[in-house]
Amino acid sequence: MTENVQADDAVLPAAVMPIPGPSDPMVLPRKAGGRADGKRMLIGMTRTELRAALADIGIPAKQINMRASQVWHWLYHRGVTEIQAMANIAKDMRAVLDQHFVVGRPEVVTAQVSSDGTRKWLLRFDDGEEAECVFIPDAWRGTLCVSSQVGCTLNCRFCHTGTMKLVRNLTPAEIVGQVMLARDALGEWPNGTASLPALPDTDDDEDDRPYIPGAHNAGNNYTPEGRMLTNIVMMGMGEPLYNFDNVRDALQIVMDGDGLGLSKRRITLSTSGVVPMMAKAGHEIGVNLAVSLHAVTKDIRDEIVPINKKYGIEELLQACADYPGANNARRITFEYVMLNGKNDSDEDARELVRLIRRYRLPAKVNLIPFNPWPGSAYECSSPERIRAFSNIIFEAGISAPVRTPRGRDIMAACGQLKSASEKISRAELDRRAAEKELGWVD
């Protein structure tokens, strides 16, 4: 990504603000800019905001609820990309709406398809900033990995995104827009008046019922039997809990039964461990929780997930134990990247089991072979070492599948997202990491 914050001193942050508590959202160096034409995006507005926006442009009070319902239907059931396509709204009313609003989609800068079917989009927003999102097709599901920030607040040392400076949070429109764009690309809007059927309210890894049509014909996939995009993970660029309000509002639209209609059990939010916001996320969003754990000792986690210096392993695991709604049917996922000689010993595996048992966590562990990127300081554990690590956890009665790397050939795999290639020296990586930590490590 061409980071405008480097080229324009006026937008550089004076300092990174402290880590927020439960009710003080992160203060960022930049806010999203508006459109040059002054129009507002309809995508990303809540129902209340949509009704208020219609009132602001003079829609008669008696018509507001009806007009809001019409617009909502065209946006999220039919997937229109322009107001003039809203056929059951009178032509003169469409003209009024067109004067003040646009539907809203991010611009696709590049679209790549991996040899394994993974798709990655580099998206540009109205202010010129960019982020990536990734679609991962599997046999029985299709998962969209969604970004929440341009850059990242944090600096996990194995993660490519963590090398980027934080530019700004994504807005609800930009988060929902990633889902809309993916459905555009996958052909998941109806040509007629039917709606997509509801998916079963489950996200069980062991569920072998196919929800995706066997043909998987991207561009023509709207069928009564199912759809390609079945799951969403907030695991793209950024730390979602440092963009809490916007992520919450976006996911509420995604989960709205009259909106995109995806069950909360089919959405997973991943955090590196922003402990004060975890319970709030459970209460106000209520989706599945994934935690980027990656190490079981203070020294190693301090190194590879430096937010551990602020919120340690014990505090993080207690927050997991307290997470609303976690149970054996809705387990917490611990993400664990396998780094050769760093966190992959038998002793590490046994300590992970001990910690899960100590806090009585309904948990599963996703073991992630490290995906290399230019300038990274780590190597992936060997397949034999990963298998031995997994076996120790499995033998303790805890699920520990090894995630198959997807999209490595297009830099779309876990930990590889970064909106454009950028040659950074080791010294510069260290300097950026130290700058981020100044504001949030005591």
Which residue numbers are catalytic? 132, 414
Which residue in 179, 188, 199, 255 sits closest to 223, CA to CA? Answer: 188
Quote the CA–CA distance of 261 and 183 in Å, as a whole number: 13
Tell me the CB-side half-sphere exposure of residue 61, using CA atoms within 13 A.
0
- d(CA 87, CA 222) in angstroms, rounded, equals 20
Please tell me the distance from the alpha carbon of residue 185 to that of residue 220, in angstroms, as a whole number.
Answer: 9
Exposed e or buried b for every residue in 340-375, given b needs 16+ CB within 10 A?
Answer: eebbbbeebbeebbebbeebebbbbbbbbbbbbbee
DSSP 380: B
Q: Which amino acid is at 193?
A: T
| Pair 116, 103: CB distance under 8 Å | no
Residues in the chain: 442
Cβ–Cβ < 8 Å for 333, 291: yes
Q: Is 72:258 a contact under the CB 8 Å cutoff?
A: yes
Distance from C-alpha of 421 to C-alpha of 428, rounded to nearest angstrom? 15
The DSSP element (H or E) to which 154 belongs, if any, is none
As to burial, measured by CB atoms within 10 angstroms (0-12 exposed, 13-18 middle, 19+ buried), residue 7 is exposed
The Cα 285–Cα 265 span in angstroms is 11
